[in-house]
Chain A
Amino acid sequence: MTVLRPATLAAALAARSEHPGALLVAGGTDAMVAINSGRLRAEVTVDLTGVGELASWSRSGSTIRIGSGLTYTRLIAELGDLCPGLAMASRTVGSPQIRNRGTVGGNVATASPAGDALPPLVAAGAVIELASTDGVRRVPIGAFLVGPKRSLLAPNELITAIELPVARGPQQFSKVGPRNAMVIAVCSLAVDVDVASRRVAVAIGSAGPTTLRALEAEAVASAAIDWTTGALGDADLARFAALVAQAARPIDDVRGTAAYRRHALAVLARRSLGWSLEALRRAVA
């Protein structure tokens, strides 16, 4: 194995172009485990930790641009107010040591259905910025994630940034795992309440081939919420929860059964939207 350690984005793109399919390592928290176990063998590895341009974030108007190399630890500390849902999800990733190194870009690139950062990004309608020596393109995350560990990332491309709007209302992230820390999600759920456009978005993790939106549930909730008071009837909330569960496409695996995942998603959906609307009602009052 050869390791390339570019110090600039241009050098990283050049390396990627010269060695298409090379293993990209940012935090290395997923990749190294695979290398140790022999599941992954790479001729060429590109270490992205030296590329400072990737490890920052910026705000432009109502849009946040998160560099793909921003660690969870920094995201939690610096973006808790602007992107609360994403920050909540980041807090549930691995251990503090993993969060010190793990990056949002890595989570998107790995494209695991269980990726903790993905539901809030999908709910917020994030856009993935991809770069290569040929140029830059922007892809909505919903389109970028195509299946379990499969994405539109081309062999010569890097994820350079993730763009998402500043929260336009309450956000929630909840996750069920088998114990209290260091868990891979059995299922997870992000709720994004956009007060300005009177729209609720919901995304589901670990309950389908990739992160899923629950569009019907979103439509029902968006229509049923009294946006001036934040009120939502119990029956509508229950319907919303049931529709979220319906939108899931879970399987039975080592972490849980499909039936349990549907059940738990309904519970998480009801609670998450309930908490979000409670926050909204407090804000209104």
Chain B
Amino acid sequence: MTRLVRSITEMEGRFEEKWVLVSDDEPEAWASDRPLAIVGHETPRTTGPTRVSGAARYTTDVSLPGMLHVAALRSPLAHGRVTGLNREAALAVPGVRAVLDSTDTLSFRSRSGPLYAEPEHAGALLAVVAADTLVAARAGVKALALTIDPLPFVIDVDEAFRDQRIDGEIAEESRGDVDAALAGADVRVELTVETPTQLQTALEPHGAVGWWTEGELTCWVSTQGIFDARSELAKRFSVAPERVRVVADFIGGGFGAKQGAGVEALLAVELSRRTGRPVRFINDRHGEQLDAGSRPATRQTVRLGATGQGDLVAIDSEVLTSFGMTGWRAVNTPAMTLYRCANARGVEANLKLHLRQGNAFRAPMVLEGVTAVEQAMDELAITLGIDPLDLRRRNFVDVDQPSGLPYTSNQLLACYDRVAELSGWVGRDALLEPSEDGLLRGMGCATQIWWGGGGPPSHATIRIGGDGIATVVTGIQDIGTGTLTAAQMVAAEELGLPLDRVRVTGGDTRPNVYGPVAGGSQTSPSVLPAVRGAAAEVKRTLLQLAGDVFEAAPADLDLVNGRFRSSDGALDEPYTEVTGKLGNATVDGSGMRGANPDGMRANTFGCQVAQVAVDPGTGEVRVEHVWAVHDIGRVINPLGARSQVEGGILQGMAFALSEEVAFDPTTGVPTNAWLDDYKIPSIADVPAMTIAFVDVPDTALNNVGAKGLGEPPIIPTPAAIANAFRHATGRRALALPLTRARVVETLA
């Protein structure tokens, strides 16, 4: 039986009530102590051979007969007015088929842009040229011979704040009486920290191939959300969603930046509609680093008040964001939720600068907030003379304080204990002894909080036929996280089939099996329960059929590792004895994610410890070791989970040490929007990493007991590194990243 119910859904901390379809037949959660044959065991990724052989087709690899290539003209100024574009000259370039700029009336609706006459950030799109070849398209862009007048610009936070260039409302939330509590506190610390603008830098840039035909609009998009992309294209071009097909077989990373269809898809489709040819629009690296997304810089002031014993009595946080996402402020989430505190206040203002508006980047806003709050906690521990981990344990809280609701699970205290044990935390002061190499060493810790419970809607179907292969159809897309492999594992586990008898598909909207966007650490906890539901239905039917074939009572039978077995052990037959009789018939099952439990909040938790070595001469900071312990409920695939954590740590380390968009203050133009001066970590920069999970299933949350893991590992790394730097040097750098120059200044 399926029913429609009202349910609360969550995405990156935004809660919404909506109607969702749920099934009465959803399996019970696997008991925590139930041994599982496949889930929980290291499993190489299902699409691996395709990926390592070069056969995997990413959006950038799509090539269609007659396909046109797009080159973009971008604003060379932070703010300007286009005064001249020679369209005729561009159209006269051999091979050029179409030119679009801000004077064209596009067939899709857009609030602003996507082609600007008065660009408000460097890299904003001014025009696009479609041509038979990329060489011709680029020649067309050159022939446009842009002339543009500069207009005044503001990229400086202080200047913007002085002028009150605030975008939208200032967000404020509070509980208790913060001012009184601060005034009455035994101990107070105040810390102002800055965090840098960081670029997602997925190795595959944003891009799309759009093909507008009479019957159907087909669009290959490098996107984290094929269904969101489908909705967007359907709405913008006023066609029925069923007539739009979005394909993303392989996606070369996203890290939050690839939401929906994206401007590349919109323009590719527009150009296809005008020219009648498929159109490919892939960002080049410079365009990608200028205009495809960023984690906006922040300046945050955190004030903490505590009793002499270390009980927090007040948390006060003020945040300025350098043109972050509008309509959603979450930098203060850690201040409001991370520790038990009756009096807490968060104020958050978004400054409107001549920069590209920020978008999602792995743990958007929360990473920034944790980076500030956790440094302030470190200062408080130092002021109180309390072990920083003990201070955190002391202020542990097991309810979500803004809502007053309990968590579905919370193993944070176990994370603290385990990470302390692994890192040798209690002996960390031994690192302060002078070393032969002249480097200053220290260790710091930081806590992680994030949502990651997932929720409905999310669907899956499974079909098994005469060949005995079970095909799982999902509507998710694997941006590199390994979710499809996890889906294969869950299906095989539930079906009782070996892994290689289960195939899993995703990345295509055509089957119309809905899956959520790969974001917010919600894919696994959303889709895996649906997959398990579908598998349970198929298995029920297979047991029925086995009863028919073997003349046994289905309730007496089980399907284990590809064999039907009776409870008394008398029957033990390969499952193909049943599926082999299906001929061209198939057995189908469908499953859907059930509603989240009422009156609870689902969050992930964790703690990381970092050890750094600082060269006081050159200012080089080397992260020597990171120990990470996270609570993500049940770990489905330890191999994939470990890799996710390692990647998160490395991105967090880079946020703390090297990644930062630099601007020319005289022009407002980024000066390192390439990979040579915008440094993402190389294989030679990797610290030793020790990774563990508190592998306790969240049986209250969903039927597989899993929470998400995309965001959590990046969140505590920068603060842990900053705190380790403080431990090593006795100084705190008030801005990240800890570049050589900043370290030398801080130590001076």
Contact = CB atoms under 8 A, between A and B. Distances in A.
Query: A and B: direct contact (Cβ < 8 Å)?
Result: yes
Interface of A: 37-38, 176, 178-184, 186, 253-257, 259-260, 263-264, 267-268, 271
B676 interface: yes
A263 B744 contact: yes
Contacts of A263: 744
Interface in B639-695: 658, 662, 671-672, 676-677, 679, 681-685
18 contacts: A176-B620, A178-B739, A179-B658, A179-B681, A179-B682, A180-B684, A182-B682, A184-B677, A254-B672, A254-B677, A255-B677, A256-B741, A259-B741, A260-B740, A260-B741, A264-B618, A264-B740, A264-B744
A184 B677 CA distance: 8
A38 to B, nearest CB: 7
Contact of A260 (B619, B658, B685): B619
A259 B619 CA distance: 13
Contacts of A184: 676-677
Contacts of A38: 138, 142
Contacts of A254: 662, 671-672, 677
A37 B744 contact: no
Interface residues of B, number: 24
Contacts of A253: 671
A99 to B, nearest CB: 14
B286 interface: yes
A180 B683 CA distance: 9
B685 A180 contact: yes
A260 B685 CA distance: 22
B574 interface: no
A176 B682 contact: no
B720 to A, nearest CB: 19
B286 A37 contact: yes
Given A37-B286, A260-B744, A179 B685 contact: yes
Contact of B740 (A176, A180, A182): A176
A199 B315 CA distance: 63
Contacts of B662: 254
B597 interface: no
Nearest to A184: B676
Contacts of B618: 176, 264, 267-268
Contacts of B745: 260
B404 interface: no
Interface string B726-745: 00000000000001110011
A178 B286 contact: no
Given A259-B741, A260-B619, A264-B619, 5 more contacts: A178-B739, A178-B740, A254-B677, A260-B744, A271-B617
Contacts of A264: 617-619, 740, 744
Contacts of A179: 658, 679, 681-682, 684-685
Contacts of B744: 260, 263-264
A180 B684 CA distance: 6
Contacts of A37: 286
A273 to B, nearest CB: 14
Of listed A176, A179, A181, A256, residue having the most chain B CB within 10 A: A179
A207 to B, nearest CB: 13
Interface string B614-627: 00011110000000
Question: Which 7 pairs show the lowest CB-CB distances between chains A and B?
Answer: A260-B741, A267-B617, A180-B684, A181-B684, A254-B671, A181-B682, A254-B662
Contacts of B683: 181
Contacts of B142: 38
B671 A178 contact: no
A264 B743 CA distance: 11
A264 B742 CA distance: 12
A263 B740 CA distance: 11
A267 to B, nearest CB: 4
Contacts of B677: 184, 254-255
A256 B740 contact: yes
Interface in B277-306: 286
Nearest to B677: A254
Nearest to B654: A179
Nearest to A182: B682
A256 B620 CA distance: 13
Contacts of A255: 677
B216 to A, nearest CB: 36
A263 B744 CA distance: 8
B682 A257 contact: no
Interface in B54-82: none
Nearest to B739: A178
Contacts of B138: 38
B658 to A, nearest CB: 5
Contacts of B684: 179-181
A179 B676 CA distance: 11
Interface string B132-162: 0000001000100000000000000000000
B743 to A, nearest CB: 9
A183 B619 contact: no
B658, B662, B741: residue with the most chain A Cβ atoms closer than 10 Å: B741
Contact of A183 (B672, B679, B739): B679
Interface in B588-635: 617-620
Contacts of A257: 741
A183 B745 CA distance: 22
A184 B286 CA distance: 18
Given A254-B662, A254-B672, A178 B679 contact: yes
Contact of B682 (A180, A186, A267): A180
Contacts of B676: 184
A242 to B, nearest CB: 14
A87 to B, nearest CB: 19
Nearest to B284: A37
Contact of B658 (A178, A182, A259, A271): A178
A33 to B, nearest CB: 9
Contacts of A268: 618
Contacts of A183: 679
Nearest to A183: B679
Contacts of A180: 682, 684-685
A176 B741 CA distance: 11
Most A Cβ at <10 Å: residue of B619, B671, B676, B679 = B679
A180 B618 CA distance: 13
A267 B133 CA distance: 52
A165 to B, nearest CB: 30
A185 to B, nearest CB: 12
A182 B138 CA distance: 29
Contacts of A186: 740
